[in-house]
Amino acid sequence: MAKKGYQADRRKFLAGMGMAGAAALTAPALNAVASESNVKWGEEHEVVIIGSGFTGLAAAIEAKKLGAKDVVVYDKMPYFGGNSTFNGGLFAVPNSPLQKEKGVKDSPETMTADQMKAGRGVAYEDLLLHVAKHANEALQMTLDAGSEYFPYLQQLGGHSVPRTYQTTVACGAGIIQPLVNQCKKLGVKLVSRAKFDSLVFDEKGTVIGAKILTGHYYDRGVEGTEVNVRAQRGVLIATGGFARNVELRKAQDPTLTEEVPSTNPPSATGEALLEMFRVGAVPVHMAHIQTGPWASPDEDGFGYVSNYSIYNFAHSISVYIKTGKRFMNEIADRKTRSDAQLACRDDKGNPLPPITITSYEHAKEHPTLKKVLKYGVGWKFDSIEEVAAHYKIPLEPLKAQVEEYNGYVKSGVDEQFGKPMAKAEGKYLQAPFVVVRNWPKVHYCQGGAQIDVDAHVIDSNTWKPIPGLYAGGEVTGGMHGVSRLGSCSIPDCMVMGMTAARTMMKS
């Protein structure tokens, strides 16, 4: 099979499919799928996992704990962790030990309600509630592996209470590295530079393995050597989203052009997702692609500004450079803020990234500030006049805005945009200031393959599970609806990875 032509044809088919694509997937699609009768097996494993992020590693650890003797995890990159490594390390957990310590009242139902609201009512409530009810188990898995978190909770945009943990390294690597080490201790086989190609079915339509390209070098154009891997209990697809596949995301949302960068690494291109669609999986919410309003146009990928902004938005103001005025609630849900930022343009219609102004006194509370200043992606100013002059902002409106906002800090009521002011209590905007620029980056794809609460992939032909095929995390759709709340990807990925392992081990 010619790899390049095959992949291109598949992308062309799916790119035009959009949200109504399920109807286009019919039973004959399986005729093109490799079947047991003409496969020469190169390897055989009890549990086969594709992708080494939060979902894949959690599944591997859980499978081992449940008695699996032979678990393998494949990743096409030269390192393990995928996009999860670049994640912000923010982990939402209801009824967590830290909430109980701080006296915060919360519940899985409350967290689910917050997510349903952000998802504009079209998120899958059963999946959300399942994840929320098991989030503490996922947190404990990371703690058992050696992850470390700050001793405080954050209340991110759209959350009704503080429920978010933050790793002490302020990124997902603080979870991924311990999980990788735990996998090694448990005897999980971890294979890098191994790209998933396609699924293998038996004559009854059950997934019994996968074709893997070993020795894959994505950055050199080397596809690798084909190896057919037999899976005794099933195959878990845990490969993440397609944020780096510009053509695929533009097919769903034409506004997400090259003008909007991504926080994701080069690996987030969605081939495994497209393969699942090709064999009959149901496409869900493919047009719901989230951008991160805390990202910076002054650094690549997720960067340092992202976590800095997430922490500081609650007691900062975001200002449109042309007017010197605020233009949004700084801790609204991500879509609301990203849409507002993308509307910030110059007179010719070009992007004009807004700035976020924070008092240095409060900005320095977050550990990433040192790197923000060190690497020149944020700047310190001694007066509001310096800020205005540097960014060519009209001074008087800016001064008036700062004064007006400080009045809201005093009263506890934001009369401009209704931002909850509890986290801003006593935190007036006063010199010296730290300023960063913000511009959305494609961060998370809410769309993907439909699954049930047991992590089975659903077949568009029968509306029943595709036997032997499981998925979890960003490669799936429906969990978050229109907009995902920040810090909810880690519980989603880890819980569904653990769920997939539990389902497989019962098979």
CATH code of residue 377: 3.90.700.10
Q: Is residue 10 part of a domain?
A: no
- 138 in the same domain as 61: yes
CB of 392 closer than 8 Å to CB of 334: no
Q: How would you label 462-499 residue by residue, b for 16+ Cβ within 10 Å and e otherwise? A: eeebbbbbbbbbbbbbbbbbbbbbbbbbbbbbbbbbbb
- 397 in the same domain as 468: no
- Strands of 180-237 (E only): list them: 189-191, 194-201, 207-214, 225-231, 235-237
Q: Is residue 78 part of a domain?
A: yes
Q: How many structural domains are present in the chain?
A: 2
- 166 in the same domain as 54: yes
CB of 103 closer than 8 Å to CB of 167: no
- 316 in the same domain as 169: no
- 234 in the same domain as 358: no
**pTM, rounded to two decimals:** 0.83
Q: For the purposes of burial, counting CB atoms within 10 Å of the CB of 39, is it exposed (0-12), middle (13-18) or buried (19 or more)?
A: middle
Enclosing domain of residue 115: 28-290+444-506
Q: Residue 479: is its pLDDT beyond 70?
A: yes
Instruction: Give the pLDDT confidence of 295-354 residue by residue, as tens digits.
Output: 999 998 889 999 999 999 999 999 999 999 999 999 998 889 999 999 999 999 999 999
- 281 in the same domain as 318: no
Last residue of a domain, one of 415, 439, 463: 439
- 284 in the same domain as 205: yes
Last residue of a domain, one of 414, 439, 464: 439
Average pLDDT, the chain: 92
Among 264, 258, 354, CA closest to 309: 354
SS3 label, residue 324: coil
Last residue of a domain, one of 406, 439, 472: 439
DSSP letter at 242?
-
- 154 in the same domain as 45: yes
- 341 in the same domain as 490: no
Instruction: Give the pLDDT confidence of 45-68 residue by residue, as tens digits.
Output: 999 999 999 999 999 999 999 999
State the sign of the Cα–Cα–Cα–Cα dihedral 484, 490, 491, 496. Answer: positive
Give catalytic status of residue 334 as yes or no: yes
Question: Which of 334, 337, 437, 484 is an active site residue?
Answer: 334
Instruction: Give the pLDDT confidence of 416-425 residue by residue, as tens digits.
Output: 999 999 999 9
- 416 in the same domain as 267: no
Q: Is residue 17 part of a domain?
A: no
* Structural tokens at position 362: 């409060």
